[in-house]
Amino acid sequence: MQDGLINRSADRGISGPDEAAVDEAAVNEAAVDPNETADATAPRSGTSRRTLLGRTLGAAGVVAASGGAGYGVARAADSSGSAAVPAAATSDLVPFYGTHQGGIATPAQDRLAFAAFDVTSTSATDLQVMLGTWAAAAAQMTRGLPIGAVETDPQSPPIDTGEAYGLGPSALTITVGFGPGLFDERFGLANKRPAALADLPTLPGDGSLEDARSSGDLCVQACADDPTVAFHVIRNFARLARGTAVIRWSQLGFGRTSSTSTDQQTERNLMGFKDGTRNIKAEDGADLEDYVWVGGETDQSWMRGGSYLVARRIRMLIESWDTDFLADQENVFGRFKNSGAPLTGKNEFDTPDLTAKTKSGTPVIPLNAHIRLASPVTNNNQKILRRGYSYTDGIDADTGLLDAGLFFLAYQKDPRNQFVPIQRRLGSQDNLNEYIRHTGSALFAVPPGLSAAGDWWGKSLFA
Ligand SMILES: C=CC1=C(C)c2cc3[nH]c(cc4nc(cc5[nH]c(cc1n2)c(C)c5CCC(=O)O)C(CCC(=O)O)=C4C)c(C)c3C=C
Ligand SMILES: [Fe+2]
C-alpha cells in the first residue's frame, strides 16, 4: 500500500452518477490535466462536472478527468502535508503533447499493447467525454503517474489498477486513431470522413483474414520499454470506456521489428532476418513530411499533422520456414540472413542493386524477392513508416502449430497510394507468401498531436 499517497479523508467527496444532460463545458473539462490546473485537488462540485464523471466513470472517477474529489494523486506537492506522490520522472519520458502524436516517429520502444475498440453508445457526447477522459489519463500515464489513487476508500475499487505503479514512464507513448466505422450515421461525422480513410479494398492474400481480428471504430497503440506499462494503458482505457466502448480485438507485441531511428540497431523478426533496415527514420524530416504526416493536400483539415495507420496481423508459418535452406530463405527476402546486407552488397545499409545480374544473366535479387517488390523503385517511389512487433499467441488449436508472426503497423500520408499498391504487389508475387498468412487487418485515421491539457483526440473533428 502506498501510505500517504492520497489524503484519505478527502476521499469522502466522491461524486456519484448523475443522469442529467452533459453540456459542452463538461466535455471540455474532461480533458483538463490536473497538473495544469490551479488547484487540482480541491473538491469541485459543479453539476456538469459531476454529471460528466458520473456518466463516464461512475463513482470510481478518474482523477485525471476530475481534477478533484480527493483523488489528487497527480500532484507532486500535497497541501495536506501527506507524503508526496512520486514526481514524474524526466528520463525515459516522451512528451505527450506536441504537433504529432507520439508513437509514430518516436524511436520504437521494445513493447506494444494494441487494442481496437467498438463504440457501443450512440451518443456523440459519450464518445467525446470518453476521448477527453482518455486524454487526461494518458497525460498521467505517459509521465509515469497513475490515473488516480492506488489506495482509495476501502469500500470502493482503486481508481488506478496499480500494476504499473513505480515503473516510471518507460518511454510510454499512447497513439489513438479513428476507424472508418466512426464516420457512419451514429455520431453525425459522415461529412468529416477523409477520402484517405477509404475502406481497404480486398487485396491478394486476404483469404485468411478473420473478422474478429479486424476493423474497429477506434484504436489505441501503447508502446513502452516495459510490457506492464504498455498493457496498463489498454486495461485502464477499457475501464474508462465502460458503457461507451468495448475492446473488439487486441494484440501484444515484443521485439520491435522496425527500427525507426538511426540511433537504433536493426532488430530481427521471427524469421531471423534484420527488419527495418530501409525504414523511414525519425531523423529524416523530409521523408516524414513526404510520406507520413498529412499536410495541406487533405480534404479534412482536422487531419493535418496526423497520419494513417494500417495494422495487419501476419502469421508466419515458422515450422515450415525453419525447414527451408538458408539460400532459399535469403532469396525470399533478397538479403543475407546474418549481415542483413542485400544480395548485391556486403553491409546491411548498402543500397540494393535491383539491376545486378549473375554470370548466367538471372537477377541477383530475385524478381519475386520481398525487398524488390516492396522497394520504392518498384512502387512509384512510395514509402511507408513501418513500426511492427513480433507476436506469439500460443498454439493454433486446429494444427498444433505455433501461432506467431509479425504485427505489422505502417504509418503513411494516404494508404490509397502507399500501403494498398505495395500490398497488392506483395500479395500476388512475393516469395514470402508461401510462409505467411494475413489474419487481421484494420485502418485508422490518426489525428495530430494534442496541444495541451484540455485538448483531446479529434477535438476539432467534433467542433
Ligand atoms: C505492404 C507492406 C509490407 C508488408 C505487409 C510486409 C511484410 C513483411 N515484411 C517482412 C520482412 C522484411 N521486410 C523488409 C523490407 C520492407 N518491407 C516492406 C513492406 C512490407 N512488408 C517495405 C516497404 C520494405 C522496405 C523495402 C525497401 O525500401 O527496400 C525487409 C528487409 C529489411 C528492411 O529494409 O526492413 C524484411 C526482412 C516480413 C517478415 C513480413 C511479413 C510477415
Ligand atoms: Fe517487409
pLDDT of 57-78, one tens digit each?
Answer: 332 344 333 332 222 223 222 2
The predicted pLDDT at position 256 comes to 81
Q: Which pLDDT does position 264 carry in this prediction?
A: 87
Question: Whose CA is closest to 215, among 296, 147, 85, 310?
Answer: 310
Query: Does position 1 have pLDDT exceeding 50, yes or no?
Result: no
| Ligand 1 pocket residue status of 372, Cβ below 6 Å | no
Burial letters 154-163, b for 16+ CB under 10 A, else e? eeeebbbbee
- Supply the mean pLDDT for the chain: 84
Element spanning 370, H or E: helix 370-374
Pairing, β 173-178 against β 218-224: antiparallel
Confidence of residue 124 (pLDDT cuts 50, 70, 90): very high
Residue nearest to atom 30 of ligand 1 (CA): 275
Any ligand 1 atom below 6 A from CB of 321: no
- Could you tell me if 54 and 17 are in contact, meaning their C-beta atoms sit under 8 angstroms apart? yes
The pLDDT value given to residue 90: 60
Q: 348-358: per-residue pLDDT in tens? A: 999 999 999 99
SS3 per residue for 51-91: HHHHHHHCCCCCHHHHCCCCCCCCCCCCCCCCCCCCCCCCC
State in Å: Cα 438 to ligand 1 middle.
14
Q: Which residue's CA lies nearest to atom 26 of ligand 1? A: 375
Out of 46-60, 134-148, 207-221, 433-447, pick the least confident: 46-60
Q: Is the CB of 438 under 6 A from ligand 1?
A: no
Measured over the CA atoms of residue 419, residue 425, residue 428 and residue 432, the dihedral's sign is negative
* Tens of pLDDT, residues 386-401: 999 999 999 999 999 9
The number of the ligand 1 atom at minimal distance from the alpha carbon of 352 is 29
Is residue 5 predicted with pLDDT exceeding 70? no
Split at pLDDT 50, 70, 90, the class of 89 is low
- Ligand 1 pocket test: which of 333, 370, 408, 420 has the largest number of ligand atoms within 8 Å of its C-beta? 370
pLDDT of residue 258: 76
Q: What percent of the chain has pLDDT over 70?
A: 80
250-296 residue pLDDT tens: 999 999 877 788 888 899 999 999 999 999 998 889 999 999 999 99
Give 318's pLDDT tier (boundaries 50, 70, 90). very high
How confident is the model over 236-263, as a mean pLDDT?
93
Q: Cα(371) to centroid of ligand 1, in Å?
A: 7
> Going by CA atoms, what residue is nearest to atom 29 of ligand 1?
375
Specify the pLDDT at position 26. 42
Confidence band, pLDDT 50/70/90 cuts, at residue 56: very low
Q: By alpha-carbon position, which residue is closest to atom 31 of ligand 1? A: 275
Question: Is the beta carbon of 314 within 6 A of some atom in ligand 1?
Answer: yes
Please check the confidence at residue 80 and state whether its pLDDT lies above 70: no
What is residue 287's predicted lDDT score, i.e. its pLDDT? 97
The mean per-residue pLDDT over the stretch 44-61 comes to 34
* Residue whose C-alpha cell reads 484517405 in the numeric block: 196
Q: Please compute the mean of the pLDDT values over residues 151-171 and round it to a whole number.
A: 91
pLDDT at 184 over 70: yes
Q: How many CB atoms lie within 10 A of CB 423?
A: 27
Tell me the ligand closest to 260's alpha carbon.
Answer: 1
Is 426 near ligand 1, meaning CB less than 6 Å away? yes
Nearest protein CA to atom 21 of ligand 1, as residue: 374
Portion of the chain with pLDDT greater than 90, in percent: 75
Nearest to 373 by CA among 414, 340, 332: 332
The alpha-helical segments, DSSP class H, found in 75-193 are 124-141
